[in-house]
Amino acid sequence: MSRRSDFPLLVANPGLHYLDSAATSQKPSVVLDALRNFYETANANPHRGAYALSVAATDAYDGARQKVAGFVGVADPDCLIFTRGTTESLNLIATSWGRTNLEAGDEIIVTALDHHANFVPWQQLAISVGATLRICEITSEGRLDLDCFAQFLSPKTKLVAVGHVSNALGTINPIKEIVAMVRERTDAVIVCDGAQGVPHLRVGFDELGVDFYAFSGHKMCGPMGIGGLIGKRELLEAMPPYQMGGDMVEFVYDDRTTWNVLPHKFEAGTPNAADAVGLAAAVGYLEGIGMDEVLRHERSLVAEASERLSQIEGITIYGPPAAERSGVVSFTLGDVHPHDLATILDGDGICIRAGNHCAQPLMRRLDVSATARASFYVYNEKSDIDALVEGVLKAKEIFGHAVV
């Protein structure tokens, strides 16, 4: 069933082949309508006014939290903090939890597969407190090397940061297995970057077993500028606020301040209520499709795209087999620079991402400076693969000398 007609931008551009949903997804009408409806019917500052319109804004914002919390499987909606997105969520943990709980001699485990947003905050935290950063290596197929991971685990391990799904390769990491390994050997806090998890997989925070989980709304049909941090209540309650300002306080004396309860303690300033409402509408849209169907659809496109691209001489595809990936195909074409390839494809209305995908440690391990990445989502169709394959063949003809 074609879902293209649900997305106004795609309807307005019938010749466009949007294959960059891992960067940001397109937005369906229901999300755009929800944003407009909020501003037309409920726009006021939540939690601040005694008048009916402010109460309507508060209700809309609180309702959005409940809806999104249900989708990501957290029974206690107050443990879902709305943030600007994954990057802000991870920086919040690194600053608030990290600087309070880590000290010289402690160890942090990150992975070579991760996005900079789940690598640099931990690297910088380690530098600032004198902790040691351990980097879990990857296998030749682009999976986490769990033997390497196991070797790093020790009583000194205080924090483990791992991605749910790799944005560059589409690798789905075995989070429950990793949690079991960590819990068996340490009492480390586990942070999971779900930027590429929530849009593509059924995520249940309470059953996953991690301590913190971060995600972005704009990659799951929601608006830009809204996302979430989920944390275990006891950890969130013990953490100091990340930002200071309105709504996150209880009492402000001349010489000290006490903090509001969760989630408000971590939501200083006027909340992004409209985008939260938009995100709740995106959740409703994805629920209407069903997350099992979302993954099935992406996988069938990824399998076909991988199969057809791999038949082109000079193509190298990175990452585990298509059946084990989410909606990403990462590849190179001989010595053709991925930026040149992306420019040729753009000439035919095909949008892919070329570059290091904010994963320079991974690119070094793959021994490339960049890859071309086609990423698929609910609105993509077989015709997008046809266009991609034709475009790559055209690029091969143009840069023939570089594809031997």
Contact pattern for ligand C6P over residues 180 through 219, marking x by CB under 6 A: -------------x-xx-------------------x---
Residue 356 binding ligand C6P, by CB under 6 A = no
Please report where in the chains the tokens 């991870």 appear, as a residue.
Answer: 90
- Please work out, in degrees rounded to the nearest 5, the angle formed at the alpha carbon of residue 191 by the alpha carbons of 367 and 97: 120
Q: Which of 87, 111, 326, 380 binds ligand C6P (CB under 6 A)?
A: 87
**Interface with ligand C6P, residue 21, by CB under 6 A:** no
Residue nearest to ligand C6P (CB): 167
- 171: contact with ligand C6P by CB under 6 A: no
Q: What does the alpha-carbon distance between residue 248 and residue 58 come to, in Å, rounded to a whole number?
A: 15
3-state DSSP assignment of residue 157: strand
Q: Smallest distance, Å, CB 286 to ligand C6P?
A: 17
92 part of the interface to ligand C6P, by CB under 6 A:
no
111 is a contact residue toward ligand C6P (CB under 6 A): no
Residue 167 token pair? 């944005």
d(Cα 113, Cα 193) in Å, to the nearest integer?
11
**What length does the chain have?**
404
Report residue 125 CA to chain centroid gap: 21
79 is catalytic: no
Work out which of 86, 91, 330, 332 binds ligand C6P, going by CB under 6 A: 86
Judged by phi (left if over 0) then psi (alpha if -120 to 50, else beta), residue 357 lies in left
Q: Based on CB atoms, which residue is closest to ligand C6P, 325 or 396? A: 325
Considering only residues 116 through 145, tell me which ones interact with ligand C6P, judged by CB under 6 A: 117-118
Q: Which of 87, 163, 121, 142 minimizes the C-alpha distance to 362?
A: 142
The secondary structure of 90-102 as a DSSP string is HHHIIIIIIHHH-
Nearest to ligand C6P of 266, 399 (CB atom): 266
Interface stretch with ligand C6P, choices 84-92, 235-243, 360-368, 380-388 (CB under 6 A): 84-92
Residues with catalytic annotation? 358
